[in-house]
Chain A
Amino acid sequence: MPGTGMKIFGGQAARKTREARMEDRFAGWAGLEPRYKAQTEITERAGKEEKNIENRFRQVRSTAEETVIIDELRTKVSSGAKDPETLAAINALAKKGQLDVALFNRAVDNFRDMPLALTKVFSEWKEGKFGGVRADELIPILRDIRTPLEAKRIGYNFIASDDGKRVIEDRSFDYAEFKEMYEILGGRNTKDGRTAKKSAGEIKPTIVGEYNFKFPTTEFDDPADYPADIADAILKQIKKTGSKDFTKYGKDIWNNPEFKSALGDLLYNKATTDIGNARKYTEEVRKWLIRESKDEDELRVFNDAATMAGI
């Protein structure tokens, strides 16, 4: 706002600060400490200590030496102290992809009133590709009410990336999880939201289809694009699926009745539009499913749909 001296928007860093200050204010009202200033101090000191740890890692000459340092850091985190050294140890483990769920929970217990510190842990953890946690462990961490909003954004952006797709592939990543991820990342109006939707749609078209069906007004500009039902929403989702992309679908997708219906419609539409291209497409999908699919029922579902479509 020119002339007022007020700065409303200031990028990601400013948003973090605003949110931290807001949380700080709430904490202050609730009689909790530490305040924002104390948090920044502890994270800055932890940053310096982390650099020392990184130097130690750089100087190791063998895996055994590295293991000694990692064990030392684990012990430090397990001790549960709430000081810069412990925060540095957590961050260093996260960056190395060595922070497991038990240690993370310990960290959350220690620093639960310090959202800035926890967000920093997530930044480092993302750099370490969230190594040390399984997909079904990361999801509850992101849903945890104690996890700061900015940390959630970091985690969900990771899930939407190529490195994080293992989380979407996991059975525990369902409609509710997608909704949470998409909305926290800003939905259709942000680049992060759109990337998350694209990534999820490539692996789980059923959940993205369900979302589009439930929220047509936010997801589509033209009412003509509103899905008639969930199967129609899934059909719109898989319309541009390349033949090899079918191998990305898990068992839960192939067993989904709405997906089966959408697949049947997809192949029927292709067959009635151009039977030659429909046959080529069908043979390509079969070839990839034969080569890469782990479950023979996937091909059975596909063949049933192709037969029904007359291909």
Chain B
Amino acid sequence: MLNIGESKIYNPYNTYLNQTGDDRFKYRKFHDNLRGLPEKLQNFIFDTVPADFIKDKISVPLEFNEDQSKETAMVIMDLILSDLYLGNIVNEIQNRLAVDQVKAKTIAGLIIAELFAPILEELKKRHLEKFAKNIPRQQSQNQNNQVFDDRVVNLKD
């Protein structure tokens, strides 16, 4: 559970908002994208669950610093907005959070299997619509198998 002042670190909406700074164009684009989301995804974003999850299930156990926690929140928002493909989640986490592959897989597993559980079907549908045609068939199949079947991401790794 978050304390006063911690939303700017763990809340995906707040971290994304802070990143837009005074750029009105980015601000507008971000909110237009949010407006365009289905109600189910909006309800998910505008809830206390994602921020609490990031803090309690990821940042604190893995001893993340503030920047890593913020980047985790950003990755989650990127995925919800379909700015980042679910199939690339492990690589993205590894690069953006500066963690090794084992940790990246653990985090990806937690996000997909637990945090995204109530919205996973909706996300899959949107990501397939947006990314499927841009990914080579073989790669797409491999990545879909790897990411969309949450059993493939070994949480024990």
Contact = CB atoms under 8 A, between A and B. Distances in A.
A291 B48 CA distance: 18
Q: What class of interface size applies to chain A in its complex with B?
A: 20 to 34
B31 A303 contact: no
B48 A276 contact: yes
Between B8, B14, B51, the greatest number of chain A beta carbons within 10 A of the residue's beta carbon is seen for B14
User: DSSP majority for the B interface?
Assistant: helix
B2 A287 contact: no
Contact of A275 (B3, B14, B31): B3
B43 interface: yes
Q: What class of interface size applies to chain B in its complex with A?
A: 20 to 34
Interface string B4-21: 110110000110010000
Interface stretch (A70-78, A196-204, A229-237, A277-285): A277-285
B7 A290 contact: no
B46 A284 contact: yes
A279 B2 contact: yes
Contacts of B51: 279
A222 interface: no
A307 B48 contact: no
A207 to B, nearest CB: 29
Contact of B27 (A286, A291, A296, A306): A296
Contacts of A291: 35, 42
A159 interface: no
Interface of A: 271-272, 275-276, 279-280, 283-284, 286-287, 290-291, 296, 299-300, 303, 306-307, 309-311
8 contacts: A272-B4, A275-B3, A275-B4, A283-B46, A291-B42, A306-B7, A310-B4, A310-B5
Interface of B: 1-5, 7-8, 13-14, 17, 27-28, 31, 34-35, 42-43, 46-48, 51
